[in-house]
C-alpha cells in the first residue's frame, strides 16, 4: 500500500442501532483537517488443543482502537464527540465538559493509494466508535510549535444483518477523490 493522501475526517452521531439492519446517524460534520489515522484490531486468542497439539484457533476481531490526529476540533465537534454543553451566547458563551460518557459516533475518512490505477481512492466508514481525548498544552519556546488534538476511540461491532456476526467498518474504492468524499459525506448525513 502506497498511501499518499489522507483527508476528510467526518463524524456523525449514532441515532439508532437496530438488530439486523444498518445503523442510522444524525447530521454529521467535518471534524478538522485529518493528519493521521491509526487503526489496530483486538482479536480473540482462543485455542483448542487435541492429541497433544494445537488443532484450532479463533482469532476473530472483537473490537478495535482508532487513533486520529486532526488540526483542530470545532465546538460542534467537541459537543458531538465528548458531550460538551453550551450556555450563553457571544462573549458570554461557556462550554462545559461533564462526567457523562462520550456518545457513539460513526467516523469516516478518505485515503489514496498511488499504486492502484483504476480506483485509487478508498473511503472508510467505521459504524460505531466512542472517543476519548487527552490534552497536552505547551508554552511557546524559541520556535513556534503547533499543538494539535489527538483522539483515541474504541471501535465497536454492530449487527447490520441476520448473520449474527458483528461488522466493524465498510470501505469502498473510487476512481475520483470527489466520489469518495461524496460517499463518506453521505454516510455522515452531510449534504
Q: Which DSSP string corresponds to 106-156? A: EEEEEEEETT-SS--EEEEEEEEEEEEE--------SS------EEEEEEP
Report the domain count for the chain: 1
* Residue 135 in grid coordinates: 490534552
* Residue 115 in grid coordinates: 499504486
* Residue 62 in grid coordinates: 472483537
Residue 35 burial (10 A CB sphere; 0-12, 13-18, 19+) = middle
Q: What is the mean pLDDT of residues 31-37?
A: 91
pLDDT digits (tens, 9 = 90+) for 125-167: 999 999 988 776 666 777 777 778 889 999 999 998 888 899 9
What pLDDT shows up at residue 2?
63
Question: Residue 14 sits in which domain range?
Answer: 3-187
What pLDDT shows up at residue 130?
96
pLDDT-derived band at 70, boundaries 50, 70, 90: very high
Q: Where are the beta strands (DSSP E) in 1-120?
A: 3-16, 24-25, 29-30, 34-43, 46-50, 53-58, 61-70, 85-87, 94-96, 104-113
pLDDT at 96 over 80: no
Q: Name which of 4-8, 88-92, 94-98 the model is least confident about.
A: 94-98
What pLDDT shows up at residue 19?
87
How many other C-beta atoms can be found within 10 angstroms of the C-beta atom of residue 123?
Answer: 24
Amino acid at each position: 500500500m502506497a498511501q499518499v493522501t489522507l483527508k476528510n475526517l467526518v463524524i456523525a452521531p449514532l441515532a439508532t442501532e437496530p438488530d439486523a439492519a444498518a445503523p442510522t446517524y444524525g447530521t454529521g460534520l467535518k471534524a478538522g483537517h485529518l493528519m493521521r489515522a491509526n487503526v489496530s484490531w483486538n482479536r480473540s486468542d482462543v485455542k483448542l488443543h487435541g492429541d497433544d497439539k494445537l488443532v484450532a484457533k479463533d482469532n476473530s476481531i472483537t473490537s478495535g482502537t482508532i487513533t486520529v490526529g486532526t488540526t483542530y476540533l470545532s465546538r460542534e465537534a467537541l459537543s458531538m464527540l465528548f458531550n460538551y454543553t453550551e450556555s450563553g451566547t457571544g462573549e458570554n458563551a461557556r462550554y462545559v465538559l461533564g462526567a457523562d460518557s462520550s456518545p457513539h459516533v460513526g467516523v469516516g475518512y478518505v485515503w489514496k493509494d498511488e499504486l492502484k490505477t483504476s480506483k485509487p481512492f478508498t473511503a472508510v466508514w467505521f459504524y460505531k466508535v466512542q472517543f476519548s481525548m487527552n490534552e497536552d498544552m505547551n508554552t511557546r519556546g524559541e520556535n513556534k510549535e503547533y499543538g494539535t488534538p489527538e483522539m483515541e476511540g474504541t471501535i465497536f461491532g454492530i449487527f447490520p444483518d441476520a448473520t449474527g456476526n458483528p461488522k466493524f467498518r465498510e470501505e469502498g474504492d473510487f476512481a475520483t477523490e470527489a466520489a469518495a468524499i461524496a460517499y463518506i459525506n453521505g454516510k455522515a448525513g452531510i449534504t
